[in-house]
């Protein structure tokens, strides 16, 4: 080997270096957070290219997010510089699936220019099919069926392959038929859905051995990041590509010849026809997967942590490499995370150490707040303090368990004028359900808001199809009136068919009534009335899909956030202003995202708010997943803790306001599971801007205080008694008594009241 290690290898520890240099044969890097798994993968690509083992196009690298793919591309570019001709196949399973499918579209019954449907299109299509079958789409919601189909596709199952029981689970046994009809429709539309991006490539490769062989020969090196979260379909797809080719290798499959000798000592198949037989014997599958069983957090979406656990059975002779040095976090942070995750059973277990400097001896801070407003205020203060000490906002992140938690922070940042960006999803007020609800409110506040009116005139569906909406438009234009007024008039005329006419009459009457209530009813109450009477809340309640409960939570949070404003109009104005702030990629900004989107990322300072029973661990995960649900929540906590390099702040609130009522909450059991040696409880006064010391009404800056000032002080006092050091332990004891008693059948006592369930 080269006596002088190339630059890109310098700085790697011996195990990392082994993982990079063991280019031939199957390799599994199984290691904890921050140990350099992703760095190993990137360096490995650089190494393969720099030593001429393969052309870029002979490398297949799979990342978990598109963002990660972009980062890896640029890192590889930096490491190997100009030498890279073309690029590796580098992306998520889905983006690589698209690339493959575009090349062989006709074999999947599609044309090259096929479109990829989004969820809305998909659901519209399913609805048509369900109705065409004479089924009631309320009883058998298309959204739920979309999720079932997605589940099947994640398991790699075509209609013919789904189990009897599964097929019966929808529409009295029509599941299979409908699924098949849906796939046929997609073909006619020259379209596929997201799941097809996995399913079609699998079928295509299975049914066309010559093409499969072509790719098996093409991809000499396969690399996979976050392997613990691959689902069955992704696994099948990898297995297909990572098999030995069935026939002799052709000359075209050779490694690049000119100026790029393969490592003599390795088992690389140089593949001339004469050596084919013995070469096939020796030929290795050069696949390298990296992952961490403790960070498997997508079980609810079909990921199979078993894939990583049985790697060496799938690929006999695999080199399993463990990395133990964490290069990301301080000893306090790593100590806290390791101690927490040790509470999980079913894990491989691993040793981790760090030598990251920690001059401030900064322990993991646990902060108690009265409610989520104060939590956001406290986090905001901390961020401003760090900023004034010269820290960049780019180095800070807030990671939430549920998306509704973002709202309070986003509002706070707008007030403070702090830049933030939401990663991996829309900002709170940009979410579809929030926009729908806001559209109702806008029409009530301002009857001529046609854009808003059009958004919700048939939402939920009330039989006002395209034709009716066009008629509404025409009438409005002809009369020179807003659409709402046109609706009122059309409802009284006989120009419309009876069914849409009745629907319009209902809509017009509803808005007239709500507009009257606007003057007399408290606006939060009115908002709730509107969402209920319009059928909008019911639409989501009847929706059995996995994202529906989250949307309902967001709607509740929306109503809650209105309490901070004097009137509906004041609130609408606030939202308009919030929406006006831009998300600029290049801006120095705090990142806000869910814990699920934070996988693989790292920040100097991380804030983890809402560590309360019922929210985190999330009640739904406990209800639906039992013990394994809890363990997946704990892995999520581990992912959260291990994103931090230097500073880590956990927060819990002692109250959450739900439906306008205060309800007390209990600190998360995960706080209890942190080792005291690495944790420090923040002094209340210091973090609260003088709350407990009777800041009272003044701190509220004109917000409505449902308790009144005196009650609040009282509560503030009891708060500091209960939760200040070392009271948090006491608080946890309370929790243990209150809720652990019915562990296993957790009725969700405190939690159910909070309403996350
Ligand atoms: P996760 O499990 O969270 O995905 P990971 O194992 O993929 O973590 P990386 O993101 O690759 O870890 O590395 C964590 C941090 O440590 C990165 O900032 C990386 O640049 C740094 N790092 C990794 N190895 C070394 C090394 N040998 N020397 C210095 N820094 C390193
Ligand atoms: Mg990583």
* CB-based contact 634:294 (threshold 8 Å): no
For the chain, give the longest Cα–Cα distance: 91
Q: Write the residue with the smallest CA distance to atom 13 of ligand 1.
A: 36
CB of 323 shorter than 6 A to ligand 1: no
| Ligand 1 mean position, distance from CA 502 (Å) | 63
Catalytic member of 75, 412, 635, 643: 643
Q: Across the chain, what does the average pLDDT equal?
A: 81
Cis peptide before 698 (omega within 30 of 0): no
Q: Stretch 330-356: mean pLDDT, rounded?
A: 93
pLDDT in tens, 705-715: 333 222 222 23
0.80 surpassed by pTM: no
Q: Write the residue with the smallest CA distance to atom 16 of ligand 1.
A: 327
Binding residues for ATP: 31-38
Q: Give percent of the chain with pLDDT exceeding 70.
A: 81
CA distance linking residue 361 with residue 364, whole number of Å = 10
| Ligand 2 mean position, distance from CA 520 (Å) | 56
What is the C-alpha R_g of the chain? 29
Question: At CA 326, angle to CA 320 and CA 330, rounded to 5?
Answer: 165
Q: What integer pLDDT is reported at residue 737 of this predicted model?
A: 37
pLDDT in tens, 235-273: 999 999 988 765 544 444 444 433 333 333 333 333 333
pLDDT in tens, 581-610: 656 667 899 999 999 989 999 999 999 999
Q: What integer pLDDT is reported at residue 572 of this predicted model?
A: 86
pLDDT in tens, 442-480: 899 888 888 889 889 999 988 888 888 888 988 988 888
ipTM confidence: 0.99
> Which numbered atom of ligand 1 lies nearest the CA of 33?
2
**Which is higher by pLDDT, 61 or 544?**
61
pLDDT in tens, 200-236: 999 999 999 999 999 999 999 999 999 999 999 999 9
Q: Residue 677: is its pLDDT beyond 60?
A: yes
Q: Provide the pLDDT confidence category of residue 563 given band limits of 50, 70 and 90.
A: confident
Q: What integer pLDDT is reported at residue 268 of this predicted model?
A: 32
Q: Residue 36: is its pLDDT beyond 60?
A: yes
Q: Write the residue with the smallest CA distance to atom 9 of ligand 1.
A: 36
Q: Provide the pLDDT confidence category of residue 55 given band limits of 50, 70 and 90.
A: confident
Ligand nearest to the CA of 14: 1
Cα-to-chain-centroid distance, residue 494: 49
Ligand nearest to the CA of 29: 1
Q: What integer pLDDT is reported at residue 85 of this predicted model?
A: 56
| Ligand 2 mean position, distance from CA 36 (Å) | 7
* CB-based contact 255:52 (threshold 8 Å): yes
> Which numbered atom of ligand 1 lies nearest the CA of 42?
11
Q: What integer pLDDT is reported at residue 162 of this predicted model?
A: 87
DSSP secondary structure string for all residues of 428-443:
GGGSHHHHHHHHHHHH
In the residue annotation, 37 being an active-site residue is answered as yes
Q: Residue 535: is its pLDDT beyond 70?
A: yes
pLDDT in tens, 721-730: 233 333 444 4
**Most confident by average pLDDT, 233-247, 509-523, 530-544, 633-647:** 633-647
| Ligand 1 mean position, distance from CA 33 (Å) | 8
Q: Which of 7, 13, 14, 39 maximizes ligand 1 atoms within 8 Å of its Cβ, making it the mutation to test the pocket? A: 39
| Ligand 1 mean position, distance from CA 327 (Å) | 6
Q: What integer pLDDT is reported at residue 687 of this predicted model?
A: 40
Q: What integer pLDDT is reported at residue 585 of this predicted model?
A: 66
CA atoms within 13 A on the CB side of 180: 11
Whole-Å CA distances, 636 to 65, 291, 334, 585, 620 = 17, 15, 15, 27, 14
Q: Provide the pLDDT confidence category of residue 734 given band limits of 50, 70 and 90.
A: very low
CB of 35 shorter than 6 A to ligand 1: yes
CA distance linking residue 462 with residue 539, whole number of Å = 11
Q: What integer pLDDT is reported at residue 580 of this predicted model?
A: 63
Whole-Å CA distances, 166 to 148, 173, 176, 262, 603 = 9, 9, 8, 50, 43
In the residue annotation, 150 being an active-site residue is answered as no
In the residue annotation, 411 being an active-site residue is answered as no
Which stretches within 536-567 are classed as H helix?
536-541, 548-562
Q: Which pair of tokens denotes residue 65?
A: 């997010």
Q: What integer pLDDT is reported at residue 241 of this predicted model?
A: 92
Whole-Å CA distances, 102 to 69, 86, 235 = 19, 18, 21
Q: What integer pLDDT is reported at residue 451 of this predicted model?
A: 81
In the residue annotation, 226 being an active-site residue is answered as yes
Q: Which helix (H) or strand (E) holds 289?
A: strand 287-291
**How many C-beta atoms lie closer than 10 Å to residue 315's C-beta?**
19
Whole-Å CA distances, 379 to 307, 418, 633 = 39, 12, 23
Give φ, ψ of 224 to 5 degrees.
-135, 125
Question: At CA 443, angle to CA 442 and CA 449, rounded to 5?
Answer: 90
pLDDT in tens, 160-174: 888 877 777 787 788
CB of 663 shorter than 6 A to ligand 1: no
Which range is least confidently modeled, 335-339, 528-532, 738-742? 738-742
CB of 687 shorter than 6 A to ligand 1: no
Q: What integer pLDDT is reported at residue 264 of this predicted model?
A: 32
Ligand nearest to the CA of 292: 1
Whole-Å CA distances, 351 to 36, 306, 378 = 15, 21, 35
Q: What integer pLDDT is reported at residue 584 of this predicted model?
A: 63
Q: Residue 87: is its pLDDT beyond 80?
A: no
């Amino acid at each position: 080997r080269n006596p002088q290690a190339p630059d890109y290898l310098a700085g790697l520890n011996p195990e990392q270096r082994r993982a990079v240099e063991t280019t031939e044969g199957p390799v599994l890097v199984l290691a904890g957070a921050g140990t350099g798994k992703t760095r190993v993968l990137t360096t490995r690509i650089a190494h393969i290219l720099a030593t001429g083992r393969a052309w870029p196009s002979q490398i297949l690298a799979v990342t978990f997010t598109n963002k990660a793919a972009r980062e890896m591309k640029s890192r590889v570019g930096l490491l190997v510089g100009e030498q890279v001709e073309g690029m590796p196949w580098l992306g998520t399973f889905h983006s690589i699936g698209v690339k493959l499918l575009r090349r062989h579209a006709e074999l999947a019954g599609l044309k090259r220019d096929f479109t990829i449907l989004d969820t809305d299109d998909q659901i519209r299509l399913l609805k048509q099919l369900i109705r065409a079958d004479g089924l009631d789409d309320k009883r058998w919601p298309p959204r739920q069926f979309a999720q079932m189909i997605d589940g099947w596709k994640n398991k790699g199952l075509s209609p013919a392959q789904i189990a009897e029981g599964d097929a019966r689970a929808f529409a009295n046994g029509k599941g299979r038929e409908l699924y098949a009809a849906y796939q046929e429709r997609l073909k006619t539309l020259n379209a596929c859905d997201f799941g097809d991006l996995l399913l079609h490539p699998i079928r295509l490769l299975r049914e066309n051995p010559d093409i499969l062989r072509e790719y098996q020969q093409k991809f000499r090196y396969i690399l996979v990041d976050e392997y613990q979260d691959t689902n069955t379909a992704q696994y099948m797809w990898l297995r297909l590509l990572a098999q030995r080719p069935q026939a002799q290798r052709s000359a075209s499959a050779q490694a690049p010849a000119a100026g790029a000798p393969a490592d003599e000592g390795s088992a690389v198949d140089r593949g001339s026809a004469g050596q084919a037989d013995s070469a096939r014997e020796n030929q290795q599958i050069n696949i390298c997967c990296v992952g961490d069983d403790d960070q498997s957090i997508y079980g609810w979406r079909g990921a199979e942590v078993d894939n990583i656990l049985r790697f060496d059975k799938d690929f006999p002779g695999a080199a399993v490499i463990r990395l133990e040095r964490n290069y990301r976090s301080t000893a306090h942070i790593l100590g806290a995370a390791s101690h927490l995750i040790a509470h999980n059973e079913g894990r491989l277990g691993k040793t981790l150490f760090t030598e990251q400097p920690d001059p401030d001896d900064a322990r993991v801070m646990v902060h108690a707040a009265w409610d989520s407003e104060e939590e956001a205020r406290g986090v905001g203060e901390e961020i401003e303090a760090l900023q004034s000490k010269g820290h960049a906002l780019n180095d800070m992140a807030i990671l939430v368990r549920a998306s509704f938690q973002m709202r309070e922070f986003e509002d706070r940042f707008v007030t403070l004028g702090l830049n933030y960006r939401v990663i991996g999803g829309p900002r709170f007020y940009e979410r579809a359900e929030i926009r729908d609800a806001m559209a109702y409110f806008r029409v009530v506040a301002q009857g001529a808001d046609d854009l808003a009116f059009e958004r919700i005139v048939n939402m939920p569906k009330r039989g006002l199809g395209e034709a009716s909406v066009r008629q509404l438009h025409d009438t409005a234009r002809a009369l020179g009136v807003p659409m709402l007024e046109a609706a009122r008039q059309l409802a009284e005329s006989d120009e419309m068919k009876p069914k849409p006419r009745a629907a319009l009459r209902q809509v017009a009457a509803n808005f007239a009534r709500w507009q009257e209530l606007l003057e007399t009813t408290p606006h939060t109450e009115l908002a709730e009335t509107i969402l209920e009477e319009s059928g909008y809340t019911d639409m989501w309640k009847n929706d059995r899909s996995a994202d529906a409960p989250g949307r309902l939570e967001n709607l509740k949070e929306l109503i809650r956030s209105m309490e901070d404003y004097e009137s509906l109009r004041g609130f609408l104005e606030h939202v308009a202003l919030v929406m006006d702030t831009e998300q600029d990629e290049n801006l120095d900004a705090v990142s806000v995202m869910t814990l699920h989107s934070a996988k693989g990322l790292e920040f100097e300072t991380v804030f983890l708010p809402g560590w309360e029973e019922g929210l985190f661990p999330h009640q739904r995960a406990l209800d639906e997943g039992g013990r394994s649900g809890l363990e997946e929540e704990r892995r999520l906590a581990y992912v959260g803790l291990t994103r931090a390099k230097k500073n880590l702040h956990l927060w819990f609130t002692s109250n959450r306001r739900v439906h306008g009522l205060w309800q007390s909450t209990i600190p998360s059991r995960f706080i209890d599971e942190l080792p005291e040696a690495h944790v420090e409880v923040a002094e209340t006064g210091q973090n609260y801007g003088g709350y407990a010391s009777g800041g009272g009404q003044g701190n509220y800056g004109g917000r409505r205080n449902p308790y009144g000032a005196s009650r609040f002080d009282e509560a503030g006092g009891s708060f500091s008694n209960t939760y200040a050091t070392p009271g948090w332990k006491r608080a946890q004891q309370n929790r243990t008594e209150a809720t652990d008693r019915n562990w296993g059948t957790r009725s969700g006592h405190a939690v159910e009241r909070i309403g996350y369930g």
